[in-house]
Structure 1
Amino acid sequence: MRLRAHPFIALAAGLGLAACATTPASDTQTQTATPFASTYRPAPSVPTLIRGATVFDGEGGEFANADVLMQDGRISAVGANLAAPEGAAIIDGAGRFVTPGIIDAHSHLGVYPSPSINATSDGNEMTQPNTAEVWAEHSVWPQDPGFLRAVAGGITTLHILPGSGNLFGGRGVTLRPVLEAVTVQEMKFPGAPQSLKMACGENPARVYGGRNTSPATGMGNVAVYRQAWANAQRYARRLERAENGEGDPPDRDLELETMAGVLNGDIRLQWHCYRADEMANAIEISHEFGFEIAAFHHAVESYKIADLLREEGICSAMWADWWGFKIEAYDGIRENIPFVHEAGACAIVHSDSEVGIQRLNQEAAKAMADGNRAGLDITRAEAWTWLSRNPARALGIEEETGTLTPGRRADVVVWSGDPLSSYAVAERVYMDGALIYERGADRDPPSDFELGQTYTERAQ
């Protein structure tokens, strides 16, 4: 994605505007300098060779009767007749498919956990239109049973966002579904940038218009955006002058700190937006204030401006076929994802659902089939880029995961058959080369919130 320089932003790294977890040289080391830093540690792994499978590499390539070798938590090689290192686990891939792990770029697991009750519904701080100061990770409940369900669907990485009731919803966080985690820091993807969640359209206008406060209209939304970014620019300028020895820095303001991180490029902007005209307005605002938009989310009308999105380098995180549940979602079409892909823009399949995250492979299959029926020639390996490489790009982790490129983290799923078939299931899920899920195997220990169900089933 091309970066647009901004003349007013030159922020010192020590000011902590990004607040993302700085990665040490090794994931097994813990950093304490950054507040709420990642303490994620990959599970122990052994060299593993998967032999003779059909492989989607995440870059759009498909290889028959291929091998995948994982060593030291990384992809070592993909090819034919690979030699197994001494002591390696050998997996028979005959009749099976191997893919990169699925990355869900838009999830609310942990902040809206299962079962859905008021006590644990912590995703929307709907107290004012701009709550850029809040962090979704501070609401994540690591014991949400939804994380296990997601892993069983082939998920190895997911981005947790606040809800869309506010114009500025707060920071999002990229997590690993560590099923034994008791703190969110144990789940944080090392080095992944945080995001700022923004929302346009009906949601914030409905929430605040009903209170007789701004915004109540589309024009109110845009006015509040622009004033907030103007305030953030002033804050950033004062930081810059202080860094140059020209006066004292401003008092710390967590709201403006987040927004200054977006202006500086350290925090990625994820924008909930449905309509093409509103996405175009958002792009104009990004030009006015000099920041980048990583992705529009839901984006049911991206097909109308696919060329603009390609030129701007903005991804679209979309559903396969959700539409019509409110007016701004009414002009959705089933060919949205494939049309964006065909235009050369960045297409992503996302869930926004604790149920949909369990079958994102099937959502991609539906979109591929709709595109092919419309006359597009989209291969199944190309469709897989919507689930791994492209979401990794939108989250700023494409150098670490999303493809089976040697050197990337060994986030790998072994499927029982073609993963774009509704009959296929994830048989084995590897994260950093460690087997974290095997279909049919008992979990030991099971989730605290599934003990009764698990042990009752065993007793029977």
Structure 2
Amino acid sequence: MKPLFASLAAGLLATALSAAAGNATAQDLLIRNAVVHTATAAGSLRNADVLVRSGRIAAVGSGLSAPGVAVVEAAGRPLTPALFGGITAIGIEEVSGESPTVDATLTLGAGAQPVMTVRPEFDVTLAYNPASSLIPVARIEGIGFTLLHAGSARGGSIVGGQGGTMRLDGSLDPLGPKVLFVALGAGAAGLTGDSRAAQWMLLDQLIDEARGRIAPDSRHSLLTPAGRAALAQFLDRKGLVMVEVERAADIVQLLRWSARRHVRVAIAGGAEAWQVAPALAAARVPVFVDPLANLPADFDRIGATLENAARLHAAGVAVGFSQSGDASHNARKLRQLAGNAVANGLPWDAGLAGLTRVPAQILGVADQLGGIAVGRRADLVLWSGDPLEVSSVAEQVWLDGRTQPMRSRQTELRDRYLPGASR
């Protein structure tokens, strides 16, 4: 191994081992005199303290005392829950152009014709690597958890498979229930015979198979026995199906289908969701939006607008955030995107909620993550300023009350090559 790569590898290994060791046991901690943005009904508390015992939040208030406990003086700076990093492939995609490091998609075949096999039992969380270099890159920017995305490559199906909520603390296993991913619209039409209409036909057949209305040995069957069992876990509103869809007309069809088939859904993307916001609110279907989706990148997003999040929120829709493009390597930008949503009409509290409380509630982990409240995990971030401002930085991150190393591959490279840095 060349000296440069040996040095970088050693630094990354040390960072990974340090993070793992730091999370081996929980820590007691008292953070004093902060502006505590709880992301709960309690709102934002000035001159407040947060007491952490055994990795959980033990008290939130003013003038707290805990003799013998390590104290951090916040000096009026903002304290928030650790943020949601969006729907990403962090930990299952290291270098997008190097296939052995990519585990986020399933390829079932090749060619233009749809492959008549669907594998909802495909679970990307089994490939998660807690030592991925992308994890500390996101974590030092205040990101504490993400939803792993499962998708289909060429020759796959519109049912991408299952993902899960991963904490960026070195844990190997997901937190909370799994999420099933489905892609609809023009972008997925190539997986259904180049027909958007065929997507609903195939989804209906999958439901019928999972409910036992089509014999398992039928020559028209799309699911394996394991696939039937896996899909059945998401029926009767028992699990969450995350649907990647953009066009307003497709969203209306989704609402009709989910009501008819008793499937609980959330939307990822939803560039035109604002056009049907009242229907989404009535159905209690949340939307993970990209606040920078403003141009008609394709015919499914003609109605894209920077005010999407604000209009959805005003109608009573639960709004979370995710981003298009290289979300895994740029998760740190998600809070900036939330700031853009605020700049375009979304209330500030709703912007923070879209990075904390809302995704935690949607993903079924709100009893542990997404808010600063007694009993929840002490996953906290102390900021230099407003966390939705691009100029602010995360000064310290705690997961389960443990102080996280504020180092990553990028900081190692920075320190190595800055003029005057030791070599």
Question: Residue 352 of structure 2: which of 381, 384, 398 is its match?
Answer: 384
State whether structure 2 residue 297 is matched by structure 1 residue 325. yes
- Percent identity of the aligned residues? 25
State whether structure 2 residue 173 is matched by structure 1 residue 188. yes
Q: Distance in 2 between matches of 1:421 and 1:164?
A: 35
- 3-state SS in 2 of match to 1:82: coil
Give the deviation of 1:112 after TM superposition.
2.7
* Contact 2:129-2:172 at 8 Å conserved across structures: no
After superposition, what is the alpha-carbon deviation per residue over 1:338-389, rounded to whole angstroms, capped at 9, x for unaligned? 11111111000113512441122211111011116xxxxx2x2332111000
Q: What runs of 5+ residues in structure 2 fail to find an aligned partner?
A: 1-19, 109-114, 217-222
Q: Distance in 2 between matches of 1:382 and 1:452?
A: 36
Specify the alignment match of 2:207 in structure 1. 229
Specify the alignment match of 2:51 in structure 1. 69
- 3-state SS in 2 of match to 1:420: coil
Question: Residue 130 of structure 2: which of 139, 142, 160 is its match?
Answer: 142
After superposition, what is the alpha-carbon deviation per residue over 1:197-230, rounded to whole angstroms, capped at 9, x for unaligned? 0110122213x3xxxxx33111111111111111
Paired residues, number: 382
* Contact 2:236-2:262 at 8 Å conserved across structures: no
Specify the alignment match of 1:338 in structure 2. 310
State whether structure 2 residue 151 is matched by structure 1 residue 154. no
Structure 1 segment 84-103 matched on structure 2, within 5 A: 85-103=66-84
* Contact 2:287-2:318 at 8 Å conserved across structures: yes
TM-score by length of 1: 0.76
Q: What runs of 5+ residues in structure 1 fail to find an aligned partner?
A: 1-38, 209-213, 239-250, 373-377
Specify the alignment match of 2:8 in structure 1. none
Structure 1, 125-134 or 267-276: larger mean CA deviation: 125-134
Let me know the Cα RMSD of the aligned residues. 2.8
Specify the alignment match of 2:403 in structure 1. 435
Specify the alignment match of 2:333 in structure 1. 359
Q: Following TM superposition, where does structure 1 have runs of at least 4 consecutive aligned residues deviating by more than 4 angstroms?
A: 39-42, 235-238, 449-458
After superposition, what is the alpha-carbon deviation per residue over 1:108-161, rounded to whole angstroms, capped at 9, x for unaligned? 223332364233233221323623121112333433321111102211111101
Give the deviation of 1:418 after TM superposition.
1.1
After superposition, what is the alpha-carbon deviation per residue over 1:229-272, rounded to whole angstroms, capped at 9, x for unaligned? 1111117999xxxxxxxxxxxx9712111210001544321111
Q: Distance in 2 between matches of 1:318 and 1:125?
A: 25
Give the deviation of 1:311 after TM superposition.
1.4
State whether structure 2 residue 29 is matched by structure 1 residue 48. yes
* Contact 1:164-1:198 at 8 Å conserved across structures: no
- 3-state SS in 2 of match to 1:334: coil
TM-score by length of 2: 0.83
* Contact 1:40-1:187 at 8 Å conserved across structures: no
The letter of the residue matching 1:219 is A
Query: Per the alignment, do residues 62 and 345 of structure 1 end up closer, same or farther by CA in structure 2, a change over 3 Å counting?
Result: same
Query: Per the alignment, do residues 314 and 408 of structure 1 end up closer, same or farther by CA in structure 2, a change over 3 Å counting?
Result: same
The letter of the residue matching 1:89 is A
* Contact 2:86-2:334 at 8 Å conserved across structures: no
After superposition, what is the alpha-carbon deviation per residue over 1:74-113, rounded to whole angstroms, capped at 9, x for unaligned? 1122221111x22211111114110011123411223332
Question: Residue 168 of structure 1: which of 130, 148, 159 is its match?
Answer: 159
Structure 1 segment 215-364 matched on structure 2, within 5 A: 215-234=193-212, 253-293=225-265, 295-322=266-293, 323-352=295-324, 353-364=327-338
Query: Per the alignment, do residues 451 and 415 of structure 1 end up closer, same or farther by CA in structure 2, a change over 3 Å counting?
Result: closer
The letter of the residue matching 1:158 is T
Give the deviation of 1:453 after TM superposition.
8.0
Query: Per the alignment, do residues 100 and 80 of structure 1 end up closer, same or farther by CA in structure 2, a change over 3 Å counting?
Result: same
Specify the alignment match of 1:412 in structure 2. 380
After superposition, what is the alpha-carbon deviation per residue over 1:285-320, rounded to whole angstroms, capped at 9, x for unaligned? 222222211x10011111112111111111100111
- 3-state SS in 2 of match to 1:110: coil
Q: Distance in 2 between matches of 1:217 and 1:277?
A: 15
Give the deviation of 1:327 after TM superposition.
2.1
The letter of the residue matching 2:231 is M
Q: Distance in 2 between matches of 1:259 and 1:40?
A: 38
Structure 1 segment 393-404 matched on structure 2, within 5 A: 393-404=361-372
Q: Distance in 2 between matches of 1:383 and 1:451?
A: 32
Q: Distance in 1 between matches of 2:73 and 2:323?
A: 31
